[in-house]
């Protein structure tokens, strides 16, 4: 079916001084999947150019008043629209290139539909994150160059994930890491100036946003798409392969459904609620199809109860595909769903309905009442096979009457042939489906089998004994359902955990710059107690002690002692460190948190063009009764000296909370161990 699955040598592990995880699959490897993605990326660029030209022509048409100019613009606009339509049809052709994703061992199974990965442009985090670290956390951004490089390398690797569980883990790791990044560097009061651009996987139209909403949603979409590619690649000639395919499609449906319910306002059409609903239905339909194949794989015995089971399973698959085709035919999905996908859903709906009637016909025509036959059980099964029996027939009488059984069986064969003819006709109407050779073979072989079976039992008086075959009740022994992504099972280390515990040191909290407090313990008494757990706070401060005189205040967070980072130390560890100095002078750096009840975007300093960037003092949030008493206790969260920038301060539109994941305490070493350091990056999988 394809010459694309050519193996390529895996990338060697990187040297320790160059990085500590692989960069993903080699995007230049000449594999079928990489060729397809490269063609899709090239088409995206052409579509972007055509869209811009169309927008320019439409704007010119609005303002032009000269009739000749307007006529020329209309002509140019028609050419652009035609070119854009051709590009979208070419992209649709890539989306239905299912052969690249199928298992190479499959010889006679209907292809399944995978989703292609969304393409994106490069993003440089370095300047923005360094500036924010200096501005917000009062630390040198250059101390975090390695962490920023790790983040950018991880994003780059996610553009070419391997088609296996390691690739899924890579994408989910980046998604969880984005939750940390959002909490650390994306305050809710302003935009950060980073532009994320992703291309619609169905239309090729680019979408850009200045917040992480689009980035996180697109990574989730690619996770679901990768699951579909894993599912279609499974070996469907084995029970284990079919079980893996069922699991992959259910997980794909779970990720896409989670995306639909969590990110409700994504601007990209392939991630709109209507489109995601259809894609979820498509994944579940393909999972149900794999269930039927798993039941049929050992062989279908010509035995009454086995045929009843298989007929109802086939009816179930036909039903879900008919529902999928109906959903694909609704506006607005109909306008952007690939026509070949909708056609294939219709083809499969008729094909499996035909199989349901064919197996029902076989169980009726070949059935024989033998001594010892459990007629009661057979009567019950036959009654449950239909919603209602044909007029004048009862289950028990039909089982005992050979003539009635044969006539009813032949009526099922006629309905099977009708569905087969419709499936072949629908497949012939779609150019893309006509080019899938294995699909044509399967449909024609099934149609010929039903025709030959009917010819063997056809009699001259069949037209005089017509019985309308009732529909077979759809039933399955394995109802498929969505499997939601389990983010909590994946432990991801926050790249920027050196900044401190995320519960305190986050972008939505404002701080004073670190203050240096020099004091001594008088006769072993520090003059204050400690509370909290990483980071530790000053508590019960004696107003006359050395630390208080030096500027310490209750509620201050201790960030370092004698250049030892204390942001992750517990109360006992900090106390032990303080007592180790005895009566020597101690240098302790503390920060104060701005009261969360104050309006920080109204009180913070702003930066205007042509003005030098400076610090601006913010009023302390102190209770009215305490304004005149300087020695009284200040609220837990104190004021913050901040500098603002000239960047846009509109509210970020992120709608997803940070996933619950395990966070390890920082280790004293340059590089952090990466959960994706051992991922298989064999480029032959790309």
Question: Whole-angstrom Cα distance, residue 137 to residue 184?
Answer: 10
Residues 469 and 515 in one domain: no
- For residues 524-538, average pLDDT: 86
* Assigned domain for 217 exists: no
Distance CA 561, CA 516 (A): 9
For the segment 174-224, what is each residue's pLDDT rounded down to a tens digit? 999 999 999 999 988 888 889 999 988 887 888 898 889 999 999 999 999
Which residue did the predictor score with more confidence, 376 or 186?
186
Do 522 and 579 share a domain, yes or no? yes
* Cβ atoms within 10 Å, residue 452: 9
**C-alpha atoms less than 13 angstroms from C-alpha of 39 in its C-beta half-sphere:** 17
Q: Indicate if 362 and 409 belong to the same structural domain.
A: yes
3-class SS of residue 64: coil
Residues 429 and 474 in one domain: yes
Q: Are residues 384 and 528 in the same domain?
A: no
pLDDT confidence tier of residue 600, bands split at 50, 70 and 90 = very low
Q: How many domains does the chain contain in total?
A: 3
What's residue 660's pLDDT?
A: 40
Query: Does the pLDDT of residue 560 top 60, yes or no?
Result: yes
- How far is it, in rounded angstroms, from Cα 214 to Cα 118? 12
Can you tell me the mean pLDDT for 345-371?
A: 89
Q: Are residues 439 and 577 in the same domain?
A: no
What's the CA gap between 253 and 521, in Å, rounded?
A: 62
According to the model, what pLDDT value does residue 108 have? 67
Which residue range forms the structural domain that includes residue 85?
Answer: 32-96
What is the C-alpha radius of gyration for the chain, rounded to an integer number of angstroms? Answer: 33
- Report the pLDDT averaged over residues 289-308: 90
| Tens digits of residue pLDDT in 28-65 | 554 455 566 667 667 777 777 788 888 888 888 888 88
Q: What is the pLDDT of residue 372?
A: 63
Q: Is there a single domain that holds both residue 474 and residue 555?
A: no
Q: What is the mean pLDDT of residues 263-292?
A: 93
Q: Are 350 and 395 in contact (CB under 8 A)?
A: no
**558, containing H or E segment:** strand 557-561
Indicate the pTM of the whole model: 0.76
pLDDT tier at 611 (50, 70, 90 boundaries)?
Answer: very low
pLDDT of residue 290: 95
Q: What's the pLDDT at 657?
A: 37
Does 451 reside within a domain? yes
Does 259 map to a domain? no
Where a domain ends, among 562, 591, 620?
Answer: 591
Q: Can you tell me the mean pLDDT for 564-583?
A: 88
Q: How confident is the model at residue 370 (pLDDT cuts 50, 70, 90)?
A: low
140 C-beta neighbours (distance < 10 Å), count: 11
Instruction: Give whichever of 96-110, 280-294, 464-478 has the largest mean pLDDT.
Output: 280-294
Mean per-residue pLDDT over the chain, rounded: 78
The 10s digit of each residue's pLDDT in 491-506 is: 899 999 999 998 889 9
Give 63's contacts (C-beta < 8 A, 6+ positions apart).
none
- Domain with 39 in it: what CATH number? 1.20.58
Same domain, 350 and 450: yes
Q: Quick one: 437 and 536 in the same domain?
A: no
Average pLDDT rounded to a whole number, residues 408-420: 92
Q: Rounded mean pLDDT of 600-606?
A: 34
Lowest mean pLDDT: which of 91-105, 229-243, 524-538? Answer: 91-105
Look at residue 132 and tell me if it is in a domain: no
pLDDT for residue 637 is more than 80: no
Query: What's the token pair of residue 492?
Result: 């991801």
Average pLDDT over every residue of 147-153? 94
Tell me which of 96, 113, 134 is where a domain ends: 96
Going by pLDDT thresholds of 50, 70 and 90, the confidence category of residue 463 is: low
């Amino acid at each position: 079916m394809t010459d694309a699955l050519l193996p390529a040598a895996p990338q060697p592990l990187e040297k320790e001084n160059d990085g500590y995880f692989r960069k993903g699959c080699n995007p230049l490897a000449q594999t079928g999947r990489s060729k397809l993605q490269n063609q899709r990326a090239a088409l995206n660029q052409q579509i972007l150019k055509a869209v811009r030209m169309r927008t320019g022509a439409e704007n010119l048409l609005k303002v032009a008043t000269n009739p000749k100019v307007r006529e020329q613009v209309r002509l140019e606009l028609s050419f652009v629209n035609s070119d854009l339509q051709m590009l979208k049809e070419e992209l649709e052709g890539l989306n239905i290139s299912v052969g690249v994703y199928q298992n190479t061992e499959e010889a006679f199974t209907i292809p399944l539909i995978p989703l292609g990965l969304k393409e994106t442009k490069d993003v440089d985090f370095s300047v923005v994150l360094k500036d924010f670290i200096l501005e917000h956390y009062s630390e040198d951004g250059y101390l975090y160059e390695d962490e920023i490089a790790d983040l950018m390398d991880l994003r780059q690797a996610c553009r070419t994930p391997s088609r296996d569980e390691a690739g899924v883990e890579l994408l989910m790791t980046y998604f969880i890491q984005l939750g940390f990044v959002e909490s650390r560097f994306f305050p809710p009061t302003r935009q950060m100036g980073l532009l994320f651009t992703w291309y619609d996987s169905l239309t090729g139209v680019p979408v850009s946003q200045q917040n992480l909403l689009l980035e996180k949603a697109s990574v989730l979409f690619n996770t679901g798409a990768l699951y579909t590619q894993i599912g279609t690649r499974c070996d469907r000639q084995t029970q284990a392969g079919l079980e893996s395919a069922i699991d992959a499609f259910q997980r794909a449906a779970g990720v896409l459904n989670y995306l639909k319910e969590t990110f409700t306002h994504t601007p990209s059409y392939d991630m709109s609620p209507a489109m995601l609903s259809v894609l979820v239905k498509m994944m579940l339909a393909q999972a149900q199809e794999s269930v039927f194949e798993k039941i049929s794989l050992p062989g279908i015995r010509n035995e009454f109860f086995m045929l009843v089971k298989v007929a109802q399973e086939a009816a179930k698959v036909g039903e879900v595909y008919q529902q999928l085709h109906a959903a694909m035919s609704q506006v607005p999905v109909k306008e952007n769903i690939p026509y070949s996908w909708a056609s294939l859903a219709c083809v499969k709906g008729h094909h499996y309905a035909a199989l349901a009637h064919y197996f029902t016909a076989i169980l009726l025509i070949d059935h024989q009442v033998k001594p010892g036959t459990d007629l009661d059980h057979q009567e019950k099964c036959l009654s449950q096979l239909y919603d209602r029996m044909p007029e004048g027939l009862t289950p028990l009488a039909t089982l005992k009457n050979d003539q009635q059984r044969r006539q009813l069986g032949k009526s099922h064969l006629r309905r099977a042939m009708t569905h087969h003819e419709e499936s072949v006709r629908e497949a012939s109407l779609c150019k893309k489906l006509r080019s899938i050779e294995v699909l044509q073979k399967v449909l024609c072989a099934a149609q010929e089998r039903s025709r030959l079976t009917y010819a063997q039992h056809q009699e001259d008086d069949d037209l005089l004994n017509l019985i309308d075959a009732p529909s077979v009740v759809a039933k399955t022994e394995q109802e498929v359902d969505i499997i939601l992504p389990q983010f909590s099972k994946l432990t991801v280390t926050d790249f920027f955990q050196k900044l401190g515990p995320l519960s305190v040191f986050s972008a939505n909290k404002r701080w004073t710059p670190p203050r240096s407090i020099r004091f001594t313990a008088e006769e072993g008494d520090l003059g204050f107690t400690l509370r909290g757990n990483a980071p530790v706070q000053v508590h019960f401060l004696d107003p006359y002690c050395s630390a208080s005189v030096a500027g310490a205040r209750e509620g201050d967070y201790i960030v370092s002692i004698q250049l030892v980072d204390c942001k992750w130390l517990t109360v006992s560890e900090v106390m032990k460190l303080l007592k180790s100095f005895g009566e020597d002078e101690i240098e302790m750096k503390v920060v104060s948190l701005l009261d969360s009840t104050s309006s920080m975007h109204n009180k913070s300093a702003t930066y205007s063009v042509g003005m030098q960037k400076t610090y601006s003092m913010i009023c302390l949030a102190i209770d009215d009764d305490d304004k005149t008493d300087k020695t009284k206790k200040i609220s837990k969260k104190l004021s913050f000296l901040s500098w603002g920038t000239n960047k846009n301060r509109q509210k970020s539109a992120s709608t997803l909370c940070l996933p619950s994941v395990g966070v390890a305490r920082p280790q004293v070493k340059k590089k952090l161990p990466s959960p994706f350091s051992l991922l298989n990056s064999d480029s032959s999988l790309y």
